[in-house]
Amino acid sequence: MPNAQQHNLNLCSQGTSLRMLFTGYLVVVGMGYMMALMQILFTHGMADGEFGLSVDDIVYSYYGQRSGSVLESKLNGSMQVMAPEGDRLKIIQWVKKGADDAIFQSDIRPIIDQRCVMCHSPASGMPVPDFTVDKNFFERAEVDTGASFSSLTRVSHIHLFGIAFIFMFVGLIFSLAAGVPKKLKAFVIIMPYLFLIIDIASWWLTKLNPAFAWLTIIGGGMMALSFGFMWIVSMYEMWIMPRLHPDDRDALLDE
Ligand code: HEC
């Protein structure tokens, strides 16, 4: 074919439509990532009763607080403002003295009905345990052993499938970036998978031993770092680089 225009496989030389497709995808998964970080702050971030994610939060979430119950830690944390000091201490005392059934009916049930069920009942429509049922309250007065194995299995498989999918496409787009040294590029592409496995393994390990909580932070942090790097480099090569100079390297051949 004479006059065939040379077309190289790199982000810089793609036509507008493919760049639009890639950009739309990257923008939407970028927003998804932000939402995921906010979700972490609101759920695990509040576990120790203080805003912001810390190693303590991860220990509380996965290992639990084995010196006490969920009820006590909530009454000292996010539920502290829900009852006046006297009522709050009465519930905590009741838990500490062994969650006696008779005392529950005489002293604790009236407090729950007055202070808690406006939210903790199906009528409120809030996704919180129903305290009109005694059993649900007693369960939370037992020693807190953190995330259950069944919830870990559920959250693990969703993350493994879902995140692998996201990084398949982010990595595929980034693999068309020609300006990154070969070794660095290969590492950044495999990094999220490696740290996803470490992150998820760390939840299970932390459930067994709180010393592993820092692994969760490293796993999640490195995953976010590789995501940010691929995102920025891909956007740069699609939209800024073409204005500066043409690119005749073939990214898939590691040129
Ligand atoms: C204004 C609404 C509201 C009121 C009133 C309220 N709660 Fe909550 N409660 C929540 C929300 C929302 C959550 C979930 C977020 C969290 O864990 O902080 C929650 C979570 C909890 C949990 C953790 C449940 C679990 O298994 O994750 C406990 C225990 C709890 N509340 C106890 C109480 C007690 C005891 C009272 C009454 C003294 C009370 N709450 C009053 C809204 C309320």
pLDDT tens profile 12-65: 989 999 999 999 999 999 999 999 989 888 877 777 767 778 888 888 888 887
Q: What count of other Cβ atoms lies within 10 Å of the Cβ of residue 55?
A: 15
DSSP 132: T
Question: Ligand 1 pocket test: which of 43, 48, 74, 92 has the largest number of ligand atoms within 8 Å of its C-beta?
Answer: 74
At 6, the pLDDT band (50, 70, 90 cuts) reads: low
Q: Is the CB of 116 under 6 A from ligand 1?
A: yes
> Nearest to residue 149, comparing CAs of 27, 87, 62?
62
The last residue of a domain, from among 94, 122, 139? 139
* Same domain? 41 vs 154: yes
Percent of the chain at pLDDT > 70 equals: 97
The pTM assigned to this predicted structure is 0.69
| Whether residue 84 is found in the same domain as residue 110 | yes
59 falls within a domain? no
| Domains contained in the chain, number | 2
Of all protein residues, whose CA lies closest to atom 14 belonging to ligand 1? 128
Is 20 a pocket residue for ligand 1 (Cβ < 6 Å)?
no
Q: Is residue 120 a part of any domain in this protein?
A: yes
Residue where a domain stops, chosen among 88, 113, 139: 139
Query: Do the domain assignments include residue 6?
Result: no
**Residue 156 sits in the same domain as residue 240:** yes
The contacts found for 124-130 with CB under 8 angstroms, 24 or more apart, are none
Q: Are residues 78 and 21 in the same domain?
A: no
Query: What three-state secondary structure class fits 65?
Result: coil
> Is 54 part of any domain?
no
pLDDT tier at 5, thresholds 50, 70, 90: low
Q: Give the residue, by CA position, lying nearest to ligand 1 atom 22.
A: 74
**Is residue 132 domain-shared with residue 182, that is, in the same domain?**
no
Average pLDDT across the chain, whole number:
91
Domain with 80, as residue range(s), is 68-139
Atom of ligand 1 minimally distant from the CA of 71: 29
End residue of a domain, out of 96, 117, 139 = 139
User: What does the longest C-alpha to C-alpha distance in the chain come to?
Assistant: 94
Amino acid identity, position 247: D
Whether residue 19 is found in the same domain as residue 74: no
Answer yes or no: is pLDDT of 154 > 60. Answer: yes
Closest CA to 147 of 33, 244, 23, 43: 43
**Residue 41 shares a structural domain with residue 76:** no
Residue of minimum CA distance from atom 29 in ligand 1:
71
Calculate how far, in angstroms, residue 205's C-alpha sits from the geometric centre of ligand 1.
28
Using H for helix, E for strand and C for coil, what is the string for 147-197?
CCHHHHHHHHHHHHHHHHHHHHHHHHHHCCCCCCCHHHHHHHHHHHHHHHH
**Token pair recorded at residue 10:** 């790199």
Q: Do residue 153 and residue 242 come from a single domain?
A: yes
99 vs 107: CA distance, rounded Å: 11
